[in-house]
Amino acid sequence: MDSVETQFSNNTIDIATLPNFEQVAMNPVRAKLLTKHLLQTGVWFLLIIAFGVFMYFQKEVLVGSIISGILMLFLIFMVFNFIKKQPRYAYAIREKDLIYKRGFLLSKSTVVSFNRIQHVSISRSLLDKWLDLSTLKIFTAGGSGSDVKIPGLDPIIAEKLKETLAGKIANENG
């Protein structure tokens, strides 16, 4: 048998020539996502009020008041965080990948190449249906569960994104 020698090449890439994903025009999610987060937080707020009332009628009024106060401060922080975070939810689809940005205190950007995507699904909770929202879930190779979740999408847009990504996946893998 003849052995065929191939020459291995692994040249360095000039970082300055790489595209800057932060300059891409991003699509925001729907403002109703803030409403969803505030409604969910409101449920916890009511539970903490109920806990505080319950503890008021117990012997440990001071302990209940301190716990309720700490929990209320945490909920106030969560509401502040949701309000600040809402305008930062954004996504974009480029020729070869998807970009998703989110976060206020801890901002995060995720770039997922189409050749890494295994499948895409859409989920809608009861609250999502009531607010006319959808969450696009993107599952990538090697991940457990969905690796990217884009909440707060219009259901029609979510379906279009799902179909577009499915087409891109088929082109990448086909």
Query: In what side-by-side order are the strands of the sheet with 134-140?
Result: 117-123, 134-140, 148-153
How many other CB atoms are there within 10 angstroms of residue 145's CB atom? Answer: 7
Please tell me whether residues 47 and 106 are part of one structural domain: no
Please tell me whether residues 46 and 96 are part of one structural domain: no
Q: How far apart are CA 21 and CA 110, in angstroms?
A: 10
Please tell me whether residues 111 and 155 are part of one structural domain: yes
pLDDT at residue 20, as a whole number: 74
| CATH number of the domain within which 99 lies | 2.30.29
End-to-end CA distance of the chain: 33
24 within a domain of the structure (yes/no): no
Residue ranges of the chain whose pLDDT lies below 70: 1-5, 19, 143-146, 172-174
pLDDT at residue 143, as a whole number: 62
Q: Enter the tokens of residue 125.
A: 């909770």
Q: How far apart are CA 109 and CA 149, in angstroms?
A: 12
1 within a domain of the structure (yes/no): no
Please tell me whether residues 113 and 63 are part of one structural domain: no
pLDDT at residue 174, as a whole number: 59
21 within a domain of the structure (yes/no): no
80 within a domain of the structure (yes/no): yes
Please tell me whether residues 134 and 165 are part of one structural domain: yes
pLDDT at residue 115, as a whole number: 86
- Domain total of the chain: 2
Q: Which domain holds residue 43?
A: 33-85
pLDDT at residue 3, as a whole number: 53
Please tell me whether residues 96 and 125 are part of one structural domain: yes
Please tell me whether residues 159 and 126 are part of one structural domain: yes
Looking at the chain, the number of H-run helices and the number of E-run strands are 4, 7
Give the pLDDT confidence of 8-49 residue by residue, as tens digits.
888 888 887 776 777 788 999 999 999 999 999 888 888 888
Q: 63-101 as b/e, with b when 16 or more CB fall inside 10 Å?
A: ebeeebeebeeebeebbebbeebbeebbbeeeeebbbbb
pLDDT at residue 47, as a whole number: 86
Contact 104, 85 (CB under 8 A): yes
